[in-house]
A and B are shown apart, each in its own frame.
Chain A
Amino acid sequence: MTDSPFQILNNKTMDRRDAMTTLGGMLAAGLGVLQTSCSPLASAAEKEKAQLDWQAYFQQNFQLMTDTEKDATVRRLERSYELNTGNRIDVSAQGPRKDVLYGYAFNVSKCRGYMDCVKACIEENNQDRASGMAYIRIHENKKGSMDFEEANDDFFHQVPAAGHFYMGTQCFHCQNPPCVDVCPVKATWMEPDGIVVVDYNWCIGCRYCMAACPYDARRFNWADPVVPIEEVNPNQHYLGNRLRKKGVVEKCTFCIQRSRDGKNPACVEACPTGARVFGNLLDPNSEIRWILANKKVFRLKEDLGTEPKFWYYMD
């Protein structure tokens, strides 16, 4: 870079936003160096860590980053984790695939409440073990009623219980998501492939999205999340299962780190009864399209106009 820092502001080829970001980055780096270089005891690794933290603090909203910036950001996350733990992780910033819109179907007849999906989800997505966070809730309904108020979602007994049936809820990745509308800083949005994601670095933790979600899909990190180091899933995505910090909101991402690799989400893979189906709504030959065409499907709270991409059906 040949420009002096403040000439950037007058550079016609760079818009003002980029200029501010560049300056912010320089400031961040400068302060980081200043902070650590003032401490004679800081080792080289500590200095690097501090610098990475400063850069992370001043980083841009992920949606506005260029591909190069996205790449630098995930490299920084990898390096930071390595400095902190000595272990390596692989963080991806892979974008959406072309002509893909993800959808999900849940077979009420098949689910028997085994909860393997819940367990797989927690492990795959590096969810906080201390608070027992889970994106998926399994509701045990009495036969003859689909009133969720009457359902038990905290059961601890042998399943399937006689006279009951089971339904799972999680983020429905609404096509018209109220949580995205209310976010004051655009830290959450719907990706072109239909996945509703959160930029954990941009979220300010106001929890307005949690108030706005009619499906209890969002979770907040009330304290520093705990994931035992040997249980950390190293295959991560920036918008998905990378490690979170306290004070930010998270949610189901249809396992973005898996689905964008062409795999099924962990819950689908883990389900022993085949009650869960995931696929591309734009592909006329997909299983999910077959279900929508041939089964009597329904969605929950359709009257709210949120257009969930999550259907229920029965055999």
Chain B
Amino acid sequence: MRTLRAFFNDALREATQGSTAYHAWMGVLTFLMCCGAWAYSVQLREGLIVTGLHDHVSWGFYISNFTFLVGVAAAAVILVMPTYVLKDHDFHSAVLIGEAMAVAALIMAISFVVVDVGGPARLWHLLPVVGRINFPRSLLAWDILVLNGYLALNVGVPFYLLYSHWQGREADKRYYVPVVLLSIAWAVSLHLVTAFLYAGLPARPFWNSSLLGPRFLATAFTAGPALMILVLTLIRRFGGYPVAHETIQKLSVVVTVAAQICVVMTISELFVEFYRNTHHGQSARYLFFGIGEKRALVPWIWSSIALIATATGLLTLHHLRAKKAVLYSACVMLFVGILIEKGIGTIIPGFIPEPWGKIHEYSPTWVELTVALGIWALGAFVFTVLAKVAIPIEMGLLREANSALHSTVSPTPQPAANPAAPTPE
């Protein structure tokens, strides 16, 4: 118990100390989180009327972000699987970063659901025993279980690894490898269940497609690793963490293949929607070409298609992918392209036209955008803290041996003893 407390003391100290740039970054994130919290307080007071949502488009920007982030979280498996199952050591240094990303993405995803519900105070109705969860009939109940389970797995394994390494011993494979294997299966089911949440609704023909689940996985395994490449590069440059060149290279192959699959699936879907002019294709028609004067989503989806297609083209050519500048810009393009595709091109057109064929458009308000910004800042904050603690432990700089010394010198471990106060000059 004492050791555990010492570990958290060390972690807290590590997370609250850093360069001026680190404090400035965390300060900016905190400011954005406060903005988000304020916008959310407006929404709590006035109701969801302050969003752009209405009875016809009853889910919008929040649920779109939720969907996208579940994909990012699921993609952590891309690093976990080769490291633990295929024993590929190239990924080893990056795996904890991937898991930290998954944790941050899950916290964001859960936050987006919480801000979307009309009665957040009544969320205890979902709890076992005191509440009344509709399991297994409701896919939302499944999603809640899968999300929280995945969060627990992605907190549990890295915690055990870091805690062991911090104590200066190797983690016991017998304990964590089975859990890792479970979390790999869990990651796939996580995004599949989220897709089923929509695909199981015959009321919304745009979603009611067996391709939705596989397409979610393909976009997740594109956007997730693309983000990972960018984050690992940044961490290598600014965090001083050695990430093997091989890791980035292998990840770039994953991104390329997944992006190619995405393109194939998109073409397949477009063919079915447009070959015959059926009512079921109305949402796609609205999304891609607009119906009459109503064409709010058209510029978005075409920019998304352009970004994804260009990036996939660039990455497909080996000599271009090998160039760092091309790889990084392709990753940015894919991440943004898929964020738009999931964020605007998947959830919203499902509601347009509404069940009786009328077009009621939707666009997010400043409240939704500010709350979303706050939640993204929260995610970045969580990720930064986790990475900040994990990196020195993995590099062997943060060890119990060092901290035990510290706590024997000062018998009462006062938080004041740490010079953590952010004092940017």
Contacts and interface: CB of A to CB of B under 8 A. Distances in A.
A221 B55 CA distance: 9
Contact of A149 (B56, B117, B125, B357): B357
Interface stretch (B75-83, B138-146, B384-392, B399-407): B138-146
Contact of A221 (B47, B116, B123, B134): B47
B205 to A, nearest CB: 9
B141 A184 contact: yes
B117 A205 contact: yes
Contacts of B129: 16-17, 20
B134 A214 contact: no
The size bracket of the interface on A is 35 or more
A137 B356 contact: yes
A211 B140 contact: no
Nearest to B53: A222
Contacts of B314: none
A41 interface: no
Given A17-B129, A223-B49, A304-B203, A204 B117 contact: yes
Interface string B1-37: 0000000000000000000000000000000000000
Interface stretch (B85-93, B212-220, B347-355): B347-355
B141 A205 contact: no
Contacts of B58: 207, 210-211, 220
Given A211-B201, A247-B47, A304-B202, A204 B122 contact: yes
A149 B278 CA distance: 12
Contacts of A64: 132
Nearest to A181: B137
Given A17-B129, A220-B55, A213 B355 contact: yes
B356 A148 contact: yes
A247 B123 CA distance: 12
B48 A212 contact: no
Interface centre among A139, A178, A204, A207 (most CB of B within 10 A): A204
Interface string A1-40: 0000000000000001100110010000000000000000
Given A20-B130, A184-B133, A203-B119, A222 B125 contact: no
Contact of A211 (B120, B125, B137, B351): B351
B203 A183 contact: no
B56 to A, nearest CB: 8
A115 to B, nearest CB: 16
Interface centre among A181, A186, A206 (most CB of B within 10 A): A206
A119 to B, nearest CB: 19
A215 B201 CA distance: 12
B168 interface: no
A214 B118 contact: no
Interface residues of B, number: 51
A185 B132 contact: yes
B245 interface: no
Given A213-B355, A246-B47, A207 B122 contact: no
B356 A248 contact: no
Contacts of A20: 129-130
Contact of B138 (A21, A147, A183, A249): A183
B356 A151 contact: yes
A219 interface: yes
A295 to B, nearest CB: 24
Interface in B326-357: 350-351, 353-357
A46 to B, nearest CB: 20
B368 to A, nearest CB: 13
Nearest to A16: B129
A185 B356 contact: no
A228 to B, nearest CB: 19
A61 interface: yes
Given A148-B357, A206-B116, A216-B355, 6 more contacts: A17-B129, A183-B138, A186-B132, A203-B122, A205-B117, A211-B204
The 3 closest A-B pairs by CB, nearest first: A205-B118, A247-B118, A149-B357
